[in-house]
Amino acid sequence: MDKTNATVISNFVFLGFTHYPKVEITIFVLCLLMYVITFLGNSILISVSVLDSHLHTPMYFFLSNLSCLDIWYTSSALTPMLANFISGKNTISFSGCAAQMYFSLAMGSTECVLLSVMAYDRYVAICNPLRYPIIMNKKICVRIAAGSWVTGSFTALVETVSVLQLSLCGSGVINHFTCEILAVLKLACVDTSKVQLIMLVISVLLLPMPMLLICISYAFILSSVLRISSLDGRSKAFSTCAAHLSVVVLFYGTALSMYLKPSNIDSQEIDKFIALVYAGITPMLNPIIYSLRNREVKVAVKKLLVKNSLCSFSL
């Protein structure tokens, strides 16, 4: 279509899950539960990591960053959908759509980088424990975390600007429950090959490459674990690594199936359900698998609860 025939879209309309009226309420309830669990679980993790001095370590510093990401990521993706379902209005302004797209991309991209950083942190801690305090000192950790946030924010800005500067056509109906970049890109009435190339390059940098680094890190970790003489220690280490890798595979696997599938495959309906996995399920599982099942965190939570109870009793 010629660019001059494009119409100026001031508002977008979400189709969401209206094609599935029988399960729409079920999806709403599940999304609400996932958001509440995600918010509470990650908030608890951030609180204990800050308040308990025993958790002032690189691992929990990165986990706190991951929890912040998960709260913002889930909030940007799910809360507008939940609000629209309650109000019955499935519309969003152009500026609101731009903000939602940017924050979702920024948080997701930052998490891609941060997960690889966390895998490297575990590699150094397990495979090179004597040099761990030197390699992963406070200044280095802050720089690495800041670099993850800057990388995610910058790549998200590039992608968002690239898509929203295109001429968009039609009625502005987005076949999704959020302003997902691929769903908005389908509204473009001009050639999108340049934008798709930009997205492809960024996707390769943020998905297969970090996942490869994670796999390499865990290969070395498992090699070290196999040398542990204690059967209980080896079993515990394997259990922890398997749990961590399951979240990594779930997050990267769903993202890869979304952003690196062939362009000729049209799977918008499937994409909506895949988006629910990495926008709702993965952020919900992260605090449970990474920390809330750890003895250190359980002890810190108990201490925090006892302290609050004593303060309430004294008042």
CATH topology of domain 11-309: Rhopdopsin 7-helix transmembrane proteins (1.20.1070)
How far apart are alpha carbons 40 and 123 in whole angstroms? 29
Judged against a pLDDT cut of 60, whether residue 312 lies above it is answered with no
Which ranges constitute the DSSP H helices of 128-230? 132-135, 138-164, 181-185, 193-206, 208-225
User: Parallel, antiparallel, or unpaired: how do β-strands 11-14 and 173-174 relate?
Assistant: parallel
pTM over 0.75: yes
Judged against a pLDDT cut of 50, whether residue 153 lies above it is answered with yes
Tens of pLDDT along 205-220? 998 899 899 989 988 8
Q: What is the mean pLDDT of residues 187-213?
A: 90
pLDDT for res 201: 93
pLDDT for res 84: 82
Tens of pLDDT along 84-128? 888 877 888 888 889 999 999 999 999 999 999 989 998 998 888
Higher confidence at residue 291 or residue 110? 110
- Residue 244 to residues 30, 54, 296, Cα–Cα distance (Å): 24, 22, 17
Tens of pLDDT along 231-288? 776 776 676 677 777 778 888 888 888 787 766 555 677 778 888 887 888 888 888 7
Q: Which tokens sit at 206?
A: 């943020």
